[in-house]
Every structure is written in C-alpha cells, then in structure tokens.
A and B are shown apart, each in its own frame.
Chain A
C-alpha cells in the first residue's frame, strides 16, 4: 500500500504537469500569452516534471539541505518563485502604465489638433 499511493500521485502529477504545459503552449499559439512571460511557466513545469519522475529527489535534496520535512522545501521554492514572478508582473505593470500615460498625452494632442483643424475648415 505504501508503494501504491506514491505511484498514483506520481502519475497524477505527470499528467497534471503535461496538461499545464499543453495549456501554456495553446495560449502562446492563440496569441494570448507572450513568449517572454511563458518562460517562467515552462521552467516551473519542467521542475515539476523532474520531481514527478525522480521521486526520491526531493527527499535527497531536503536531506542534503538539512530540511526535516521535504514538502516544506517544495513550498519554500514555490513561494519564492511566486514572489519573483509577482515582482516581475509589477515591473511590467509599471512600464505599461507609463506607456499608457504617454499614449494618452498623444491622443489628447491629436484630439486637440483635430478639433482645431475642423474649426479652421468650417470658418
């Protein structure tokens, strides 16, 4: 029984990871996700895949790092990755905000010019 449960979860995680990878690829093909943002997701998927196949890996790494409870290492890595990605998103967001500001200025100038031209033509 002890051997069967990890095996089941192994198959589940491999399938889950592959489905996730398929989903990411589909989003890129449909043009809904830019390649540069997909890199981090691919990296995550590959790490998941490695640990899905290499079951003892997590335990070995935990033991080497002196982590008593292996899943907590997984949580730590996952939270670290999420933090980095969130900061990355904030940076992208700030850049977009500044670009939107510049574009709004240009739109406002164009609108003002258009109104002026229309007024000049009508008079």
Chain B
C-alpha cells in the first residue's frame, strides 16, 4: 500500500471519547517533538455517537472511521492491520480515554527498540505508582495473572493493560487473528503460545479522563466469564495447532 512516513504507529481506539481525545493526541505530538520520535498517530473511531470524529478530523493525526461498531478488539485489529499493511515496524496501543499518559510512551518505545522483546506491555503494578485501579479489578487482574501462568508458564502482572507495543512479528499474527471483545488477557495467551517474547515495563497510569468504562457492575461477571472462555479456547486451538510449545523465556524486569 502506501509508503510509511514513520516506523512506529500509535493506534488509539476511540468510542465516544470527545472529551479526552484532543488532549491525548496533542500530548503525543508534543512528546514526539520533544524526543524526536518517528511516530504516526492513528485514531480508530469505532462509530462514536458523539463528536469524536469531527474532533479527530481537525487534529494532526491519521484516522480510520469504522462503518459499524466493532468493539475494542475489532477496532484495535483494524489499526494493527493498517500498521502491518503500511509497513510500520512497531504499533503501539494507547487507550483513548487518557488512562495512558503520553509521557510514558518513550519508556515503552525505548524497550521495544532494543529488540529483545516482541511485545512490550506497560504495567501499572510493577512499581505500584499512579492509578492502581479498584480492589475488585485488581482481584480480576490477579486471577488472569494466575490463569496465564498456568497456561503459558509466564507471569504477566498487568494482563489487562492496553498500553502495549507490538513489533512486526507480532503484527503479522494479530493481522490474522485478534480477539473481538475484551482482547487484552486473551491476546497474552495467544502471544505466549506463538512463542513471542513479552516484557513488562513499569508505567504510571491515570484514572480515565472521560468516557465510560466498558466494564462495570453486572458486566464484570460477564467479562470474567467471557475472557476465561476466550483464553481457554484460544489455548486449546493453538495447542492443537502447534503441539507442545517450547518453554518461554522469562523476561520479567
């Protein structure tokens, strides 16, 4: 397709984020200038009902406007596909609600550019600084940590973190398949079984600035159930495909 202008694509999935998207894009632009980073920004508008698209159009960034609402997984996958097809070497996922501060971006990229991990995950629990999420959510995250450890033998402290950098090898895989709903914990198992090397980097996260979380109250039960099913099925499917996977090197920091 078209020739890339930069090596790194920052993908921001957006659904009704009119209140936070402008600040986020501007923050990333200023971090880009400050650190002289070779990045393009791609906002994926997942059929927002508010003014998100109009705001995004006026900003200094690329954007995709999905014709139907696909949810976070489908939206992110469109960004990854875009990155893969346009020859970007890395893709970064950053949430559109302002939970992932742009100032932490260079830290993640630095780690990714060192090329000793296929996936770099920004983790809020490694140093325990910044917004730590509620007790119930941390309980859920611990449960996924435990599930991942059993299935792929790797400890990811913050498996629900949506602040991630993928290299091209990873992009090739997510270009083919990426979970639809609540993709983050399931993707960890997908990567583990594909023998990709994951590394966590401590970052500080903020409380969301705008929008509404997609996971609350009664949905939390559905979330846990759906993600567990997704994880187990992706495990069975890939285990059958690749046979017994080789042990994954532990690269925790």
* Contact yes or no, A107 B63, CB < 8 A: no
* Contact yes or no, A112 B67, CB < 8 A: no
Choose the segment among B73-81, B126-134, B232-240 that binds chain A (4+ C-beta atoms closer than 8 Å): B73-81
* Contact yes or no, B180 A112, CB < 8 A: no
Any chain B CB within 8 A of the CB of A29?
Answer: no
Of A104, A107, A111, most B-chain CB atoms within 10 Å: A104
Residues of chain A within 8 A of B62, CB atoms compared: 112
Residue of A with least CB distance to B67: A107
* Contact yes or no, A108 B67, CB < 8 A: yes
Any chain A CB within 8 A of the CB of B215?
Answer: no
Any chain B CB within 8 A of the CB of A100?
Answer: yes
A92 to chain B, nearest CB (A): 17
Residue of A with least CB distance to B178: A101
Knowing A109-B64, A111-B65, A112-B62 touch, does A104 contact B82 (C-beta < 8 A)? Answer: no
* Contact yes or no, A104 B66, CB < 8 A: yes
Residues of chain B within 8 A of A105, CB atoms compared: 66, 74, 77-78, 81
**A contacts with B: majority SS:** helix
* Contact yes or no, B81 A104, CB < 8 A: no
Distance of A116 Cα from B3 Cα, bound (Å): 13
Of B66, B68, B78, most A-chain CB atoms within 10 Å: B78
Any chain A CB within 8 A of the CB of B224?
Answer: no
Distance of A123 Cα from B180 Cα, bound (Å): 38
* Contact yes or no, B67 A104, CB < 8 A: yes
Distance of A109 Cα from B44 Cα, bound (Å): 11
Residues of chain A within 8 A of B65, CB atoms compared: 108, 111-112
Query: Hey, what's the 0/1 contact readout for B81-117 against A, CB within 8 Å counting as 1?
Result: 1100100000000000000000000000000000000
Any chain A CB within 8 A of the CB of B70?
Answer: yes
Distance of A111 Cα from B63 Cα, bound (Å): 10
Knowing A109-B82, A112-B62 touch, does A101 contact B67 (C-beta < 8 A)? Answer: no
Residue of B with least CB distance to A116: B2
Distance of A28 Cα from B42 Cα, bound (Å): 45
* Contact yes or no, B64 A101, CB < 8 A: no
* Contact yes or no, B70 A101, CB < 8 A: yes
Query: Hey, what's the 0/1 contact readout for A63-107 against B, CB within 8 Å counting as 1?
Result: 000000000000000000000000000000000000011001101
B49 to chain A, nearest CB (A): 17
User: Closest 10 interchain pairs by CB?
Assistant: A108-B64, A105-B78, A107-B67, A101-B74, A108-B66, A104-B68, A104-B67, A104-B66, A112-B64, A108-B78
Interface contacts beyond A100-B68, A101-B77, A112-B65: sample of 11 additional A-B pairs, CB < 8 Å, sorted by A: A101-B70, A101-B74, A101-B180, A104-B78, A105-B81, A107-B67, A108-B78, A109-B78, A111-B67, A112-B64, A116-B2
17 A-B pairs with CB atoms under 8 Å apart are A100-B68, A101-B70, A101-B180, A104-B66, A104-B67, A104-B68, A104-B70, A104-B78, A105-B66, A105-B74, A105-B77, A107-B67, A108-B64, A108-B66, A109-B64, A111-B67, A112-B64
